[in-house]
Amino acid sequence: MATRSGRRDRGDRAEGAPGPTGGAIAPAGRHGSMDGLLATKEIVVACGPGGVGKTTTAAAAAVMAAVRHGSKVLVLTVDPAKRLANALGLDGIGNTEHRVPGSAFRAAGLKPRGQLWAAMLDTKESWDALIRRHAPDRQTRDEILANPLYQNISGRFVQSHDYIAMERLYEIHSESDYDLIVVDTPPTRNALDFLDAPQRMADFFSSRLLRWLIVPYRSRLVNVATKPFYSIADRILGTEFLADISEFFILFQSMYDGFVERSDAVGRLLSDRRTTFVVVSTLEAVPLREAEFFAEQLTARRLHLGAIVLNKVLPDYLRGADGGVVAEAMKEQADRFASLLAPELAAADAAIGDPTQIARVLSEVADSYLNFQVVALREMEERSTLSVAPDVLATVPFFETDIFDLTGLVRLGEQIWG
């Protein structure tokens, strides 16, 4: 393991203690802060349902760690928005890690104490690299890379993303000297898929069926026990396709030991104490239930649930009981209020002194408040039912504008920093 120089200057701080700029009151922290969490872990896996700001949250956490800690931080993203990729200097770069230049930070008025690096996950490229690593010889390597089945698995079919993301994380963690790696997880059908991927990959390569399938064709015919299996498979898939599959797996078998060993190592890394999981969600019912389920599963698998980040939470002022009363009054008495307000407005500008128009604005504004209040109250209700207890529970307010640059990421980061 490389020297973790960035850690030293924080060595005297207890885990979970608020950072120098964390502020006295964490908005929703239970008994820890994101600052403390990121200072004590080496790998942070951001996960959760789709559409909740997972990628942005991962990037914000990494930026904050680079700015506030003297660490070398890597953010490994899967599918960043184009503008965010630009901000991280990732546009058109792909799989290799790149340092976000100091000039980008200076332009945002920031003086990072550490370094921020960024990389994007390219599934196909990562698979190819994996084959190159494990192939016993050049010929096998080239045959696999050219095999149509391999190309399908690596490029087209989705489960392979899950595995390769974790594999790449392992590779970077074991071979480079980052103090902290923040990894975004691929959008999966099931948020848990990527956790199971290393085990599934190992199971797959140890499968007895795999051995059946790659038995040379002739010996199949004499094996009474397996004959029915092959005759059905032949009828459905055709002999030629079966032969293609066999060839593919015979080639893959040469890499068997390497793969299984590697999958196990990836699995171990995820459950290591140095790794923590940050579940990102919004307070909408469906994503929140999914996030909660995920958090429960993490705990059940003895993985470390470090934090839950609740994004896009509507502002507090929408929940005040007074606000509702005021809005109701504004709506009911819009005409009366408008006639009283009209002279005042007309005094400033005659064009805006029309009572009818003022009344309409008042009632639109009041309606809008009441509408959003419904949503804001429901959000709080959802939050109060949250049944999991992470070390850190961070709430991030709704930002009116998109987050697409370092300034925006820091704005978001400060909210989750606690």
Partner 1 sequence: MARHSTVTGGDDPVGSLLDLKLVFVTGKGGVGKTTVASALALFASLRGKRVLVCEVDAKGDVAGFYEAPPTGFNEREILPGLFAMTMDTEASLREYLKLQLHIPVVGRIGPLAKAFDFVATAAPGVREILTVGKLCYEVRERNYDLVVVDAPASGHIVGQLAAPQAINNLVKVGLIRSQTDWMLDILSDARATGLVAVCTPEEMPVNETIELAVRISEETTVQLAAVVVNRVLPELFGRQEEAVFDALASPGPLALLDELVDGDAAPVLDAARLAVTMRRTRSTHLDRLRQGIDPTVPMLYLPYLFTRSHGLRTTRQVAASLGEELGY
Binder of partner 1 out of 27, 129, 215, 249 (CB under 8 A): 249
From residue 404, alpha-carbon distances to 54, 87, 407, 411 in Å are 13, 7, 8, 11
Q: Does 366 engage in binding with partner 1 (CB under 8 A)?
A: yes
Nearer to partner 1, 28 or 341 (CB): 341
Nearer to partner 1, 24 or 236 (CB): 236
- Going by C-alpha positions, the residue among 198, 268, 299, 272 that lies closest to residue 42 is 272
Q: Does 207 engage in binding with partner 1 (CB under 8 A)?
A: yes
Binder of partner 1 out of 261, 368, 385, 389 (CB under 8 A): 368
Nearer to partner 1, 74 or 366 (CB): 366
Nearer to partner 1, 185 or 275 (CB): 185
Q: Does 284 engage in binding with partner 1 (CB under 8 A)?
A: yes
We find the least distance from the C-beta atom of residue 194 to partner 1, in angstroms, to be: 13
Alpha-carbon distance of 396 to 145, in angstroms, equals: 45
We find the least distance from the C-beta atom of residue 197 to partner 1, in angstroms, to be: 11
One character per residue 295-334, x = contact with partner 1 (rule: CB under 8 A)? --------------------x-xx-x-xx-xxx-xx--x-
Q: Does 259 engage in binding with partner 1 (CB under 8 A)?
A: no
- Residue 31 structure tokens: 């008994």
Q: Does 92 engage in binding with partner 1 (CB under 8 A)?
A: no
Residue 403, SS3? coil
Q: Which stretch binds partner 1 (CB under 8 A): 69-77, 106-114, 135-143, 370-378?
A: 370-378
Interaction residues for partner 1, span 180-199 (CB under 8 A): 186-187, 189-190
Q: Does 22 engage in binding with partner 1 (CB under 8 A)?
A: no
Give every CB contact of residue 416 below 8 A, 6+ residues apart in sequence. 34, 57, 60, 61, 64, 307, 309, 394, 396
- For β-strands 392-397 and 305-313, DSSP reports them as parallel
We find the least distance from the C-beta atom of residue 132 to partner 1, in angstroms, to be: 21
Residue 284 exposure: Cα atoms within 13 Å on the Cβ side: 13
Binder of partner 1 out of 107, 221, 375, 389 (CB under 8 A): 375
Binder of partner 1 out of 2, 265, 374, 389 (CB under 8 A): 374
> Could you give the dihedral angle defined by the CA atoms of residues 226, 232, 238 and 241, in that order, rounded to the nearest 10 degrees?
-50
Task: Let me know if 191 is exposed, middle or buried by CB neighbors in 10 A (0-12, 13-18, 19+).
Answer: buried
Interaction residues for partner 1, span 72-91 (CB under 8 A): 79, 81-83
Alpha-carbon distance of 352 to 345, in angstroms, equals: 6
Residue 212 exposure: Cα atoms within 13 Å on the Cβ side: 13
Alpha-carbon distance of 64 to 414, in angstroms, equals: 7
Interaction residues for partner 1, span 25-54 (CB under 8 A): 49-52
Question: Are residues 388 and 310 in contact, defined by beta-carbon separation less than 8 angstroms?
Answer: no
DSSP string for residues in 229-245:
HHHHHHHHH-HHHHHHH
Interaction residues for partner 1, span 98-157 (CB under 8 A): 148-149, 152-153, 156-157
One character per residue 385-414, x = contact with partner 1 (rule: CB under 8 A)? -------------x-xxx-x----------
We find the least distance from the C-beta atom of residue 220 to partner 1, in angstroms, to be: 15
Q: Does 238 engage in binding with partner 1 (CB under 8 A)?
A: yes
Q: In what order do the strands lie in the sheet with 98-99?
A: 98-99, 115-120, 72-77, 180-184, 43-47, 275-282, 305-313, 392-397
We find the least distance from the C-beta atom of residue 23 to partner 1, in angstroms, to be: 23
Nearer to partner 1, 4 or 360 (CB): 360
